[in-house]
Amino acid sequence: MPSIHLVSRGAGAQVLLPLLLGSILLAGCGKSDSSQQATQAPPAQAVTVVTLKAEEVTLTRELAGRATPSLIAEVRPQVSGIVKGRLFEEGGTVKAGQPLYQLADLEYAADAASARAALARAKATLQQAQLGARRSGELVKIDAVSRQDDENAQAALAQAQADAAAAQAALQRSEVLLGYARIVSPISGNIGRSSVTQGALVTASQEQPLALVQRLDPMYIDVTQSSSELLDLRREMAAGTLKQANDLPVKILLEDGTTYAREGKLAFTDVTVDPTTGSYTLRVTVPNPDGVLLPGMYVRAQVGNGVRNAALLVPQQGVARDPKGNVSAMVVGKDNKVVQRQLEVSRTIGNRWLVDKGLVAGERVVIEGLQKIGPGATVAPSEAGAAPAAPAVPAAATAAAAQPSKS
């Protein structure tokens, strides 16, 4: 402070001197305080971070598909005739071998009776031939009959045996046709509506089925996946970044978005790629004891592709994407300074991104407070889920607060 020389001139000067000195001292104190405030650093911005940890993650793919019955049988007549009656309730369940339709069978019953009579006649002829051949065999030994007569008797026996066998086969065929007049269910399952009514004429092996029987428990879910995704999975497995896992459960999502109560299992993967779509088929087997899944229903299946052992997952709010599609995140270093990191992400798992490149385990990624910081900024990080850290107070401000104020 420059020296001030005051010249006292009279009694008035003696009164003004103390006031002038006090004003100068107060002005000096004000300048010192403002200079001290100007040297204080701004407080660090409080942010919330997540510390990355490597974890085992099952990679899944949501695929669209349709529900199909595990067994399906079209009921068709094997003989022609008039339908006498329908023996089942439409929309109900039937057992294998349960009668479904009865056809008029008088003609088939008559054929069976005729075949039965022909068999009886053939058996009688066979018995007569057996007796004649036996007598001829005994007489030829004593030369009572010629050898030619004996050979004729033996031939007649063989012919009678063949006739009896043919009559037996004809009877069996007639009985089979008679049985076909009663149409039964080939499998157990749920049966739909009938395409014919009583009095309708049906023909053997006609094109239109009489009814459809389907087994709905378990159900099949046939989904399709791109062949390019299959190549990517095989490439990751060959590189060792992805481990194949067998018997992974499959979650089923219904048409309304709700999750089906029971999990499925991957049954098989088709070995042929559809040339028109470039995709191949996967079949999932799902229990359906309550009949919630119906044939033709549209569903989505979350199929597991493999397991990644050391995966890094970042919350979606901590990942930014610019107009060019570049992905980045703000990372807090050891000195609590923010660094912008470029990332490569492949897919979302829940509400987090799976990071392929750009981050390592142990790094801290900012997920809250991103609007108030930029690269190079000093922050006061607090772990997500923990109590927020108090903002840092510069040492100069602490020292200034400790000094007593001067009046």
| CATH number (domain holding residue 174) | 1.10.287
Does residue 403 sit within a domain? no
Does residue 397 sit within a domain? no
pLDDT value, residue 194: 94
Does residue 260 sit within a domain? yes
Do 328 and 340 have their domain in common?
yes
For the record, the structure tokens of 385 come out as: 């889920």
Last residue of a domain, one of 246, 276, 309: 309
Q: Give the total number of structural domains in the chain.
A: 4
Do 190 and 236 have their domain in common?
no
Per-residue pLDDT band at 245 (split at 50, 70, 90)? low
Do 223 and 305 have their domain in common?
yes
Last residue of a domain, one of 294, 309, 324: 309
Q: pLDDT per residue over 213-237, tens digit each? A: 999 999 999 988 888 777 777 777 7
pLDDT value, residue 178: 94
The CATH number of whichever domain residue 253 belongs to comes to 2.40.30.170
pLDDT value, residue 246: 64
The CATH number of whichever domain residue 200 belongs to comes to 2.40.50.100
Selection from 78, 74, 92, 80 nearest residue 200 by Cα: 80
Q: pLDDT per residue over 299-351, tens digit each? A: 998 887 778 878 889 998 989 988 888 899 999 988 889 999 999 888 888 88
Whether 23 has a pLDDT exceeding 90, the answer reads: no
Does residue 400 sit within a domain? no
Does residue 41 sit within a domain? no
Q: State the Cα–Cα distance between residues 14 and 182, nearest whole angstrom.
A: 138
Does residue 405 sit within a domain? no
| pLDDT greater at residue 204 or residue 26 | 204
| pLDDT greater at residue 1 or residue 166 | 166
Whether 357 has a pLDDT exceeding 70, the answer reads: yes
Whether 8 has a pLDDT exceeding 70, the answer reads: no
Per-residue pLDDT band at 109 (split at 50, 70, 90)? very high
pLDDT value, residue 25: 47
Does residue 115 sit within a domain? yes
Do 90 and 185 have their domain in common?
yes
| pLDDT greater at residue 249 or residue 165 | 165
Do 290 and 227 have their domain in common?
yes
| pLDDT greater at residue 270 or residue 109 | 109
Do 316 and 368 have their domain in common?
yes
Selection from 366, 100, 302, 353 nearest residue 213 by Cα: 100
Do 238 and 331 have their domain in common?
no
Whether 30 has a pLDDT exceeding 90, the answer reads: no
Per-residue pLDDT band at 159 (split at 50, 70, 90)? very high
Cβ-in-10-Å burial (0-12, 13-18, 19+) of 240 comes to: exposed
pLDDT value, residue 137: 87
The CATH number of whichever domain residue 346 belongs to comes to 2.40.420.20
Torsions phi, psi of 209, nearest 5? -75, 150
Whether 403 has a pLDDT exceeding 80, the answer reads: no
Q: State the Cα–Cα distance between residues 310 and 356, nearest whole angstrom.
A: 10
Q: Is the dihedral of CA 200, 203, 209, 211 positive or negative?
A: positive
Percent of the chain with pLDDT over 70: 82
Do 317 and 240 have their domain in common?
no
Whether 386 has a pLDDT exceeding 60, the answer reads: yes
Do 237 and 281 have their domain in common?
yes
Which structural domain range is residue 152 located in? Answer: 106-179
Does residue 371 sit within a domain? yes
| pLDDT greater at residue 45 or residue 204 | 204
Written in H, E and C, the secondary structure of 120-185 is HHHHHHHHHHHHHHHHHHHHHHCCCCCHHHHHHHHHHHHHHHHHHHHHHHHHHHHHHHHHHCEEEC
Per the document, the length of the chain is 407
| pLDDT greater at residue 385 or residue 149 | 149
Do 373 and 292 have their domain in common?
no
Do 298 and 357 have their domain in common?
no
Do 221 and 305 have their domain in common?
yes
Whether 396 has a pLDDT exceeding 90, the answer reads: no
Last residue of a domain, one of 280, 309, 338: 309
What pTM value is reported for the model? 0.63
Rg (CA), the chain: 48
Whether 158 has a pLDDT exceeding 90, the answer reads: yes
